[in-house]
Amino acid sequence: MNKHFKFIDLFAGIGGIRIPFQELGGECVFTSEWDPHAQKTYEANFNETPFGDITQVDAKDIPDHNILLAGFPCQPFSIIGEKEGFSDTRGTLFFDIERIIEEKRPDAFLLENVKHLVGHNKGNTFEVIKEHLSKLGYTFYYKVLNALDYGLPQKRERVIIVGFREQLPFKWPEPHKQRALLSNILEKENEVCPSLFASEKIQKDRLLKYKGEHLSPSIWHQNKSGNISALPYSCALRAGASYNYLLVDGKRRPSARELLRLQGFPEDFIIPVSYTQLRKQAGNSVPVSVIRAVAKEMLISLNSKMPTKIETKLPQKKISLEQKVCVNG
């Protein structure tokens, strides 16, 4: 494949998957994102408004492309939600990806979702996805990757599925040897908007509940049981979490810019929406550095001239060692 390639960006959010592929020479020829606030942020940064409801798009009308990208909705499979999977309307959006791949036959695809997709419904949901991808004739690989291992101070585990129309080899990117420091992304306390500081009551409540070592800088995380942890990195950003879910040093909420930094967005990324909307958008986004690392390996595979024969049929009961790692998270 030539260095210049074309790709489409489905369920695009605010463009976290697009950024690395564009950096590597790709041209985005079609985008879809239904949320109007996310569309506003996307337009401000990429000078185009995404098409809305992908279910209303005829696959034949989508431009030809080399790579299909899709961070398809994760709520049906998330540990936070009801985990309804394909019984949830949003879960069926995977089949819109399938019909587009079937019609356009791109050279490759990259799909992203929460790690719990792999084990959802005792693994049956993911088996359906694998079966449908195999029937399309694509060689594919999957693995759960953690943003902590790729230069971001955020524990965010996501399953990445990479597929190729031809039987190409693929290598997952190696984790970084050193983890990123939280101090590199935090703003100075006197520069943070006063409205982001939690009330004295909330701060005192956190102090009373927390019994561990007081690390600084750290991000204090309160889980659903009310337990407090203070870590030298952030727990996964969540779109629907309470405002006090994560507190820097137990005092304040992360700023909009800090939220984007936790996801690896560039410093010049434009924020045209309110803090509330940006917080939701960052929580729904992808860790850009993870996608960048995978994208580089994908292009190496696509540009390789020695494709190897890889069995694309689904195993009956056996599962590879790498797949075991993914299933166990």
Same domain, 12 and 143: yes
Which of 267, 284, 301 is where one domain is finished? 284
- Per-residue model confidence as pLDDT tens digits over 59-101: 999 999 999 999 877 545 444 444 454 454 344 688 899 999 9
Domain containing 258 — which CATH number?
A: 3.90.120.10
Domain that holds residue 45: 5-178+285-328
Contact call for residues 125 and 77 (beta carbons, < 8 A): yes
Same domain, 241 and 205: yes
Rounded distance, CA 252 to CA 192, Å?
A: 9
Closest CA to 38 of 62, 10, 63: 10
- Per-residue model confidence as pLDDT tens digits over 226-272: 789 999 999 999 988 888 889 999 999 999 999 999 999 999 999 99
pLDDT at 223: 82
Predicted TM-score of the model (pTM): 0.86
pLDDT at 321: 32
Domain count, the chain: 2
Same domain, 160 and 232: no
pLDDT at 305: 57
- Per-residue model confidence as pLDDT tens digits over 95-140: 899 999 999 999 999 999 988 888 767 777 788 888 889 999 999 9
Active-site residues, by number, are 74
Same domain, 82 and 138: yes
Element (H, E) at 297: helix 288-302
DSSP 198: P
Same domain, 294 and 166: yes
Provide the H-helix boundaries in 60-116.
94-104
Same domain, 300 and 151: yes
DSSP 174: P
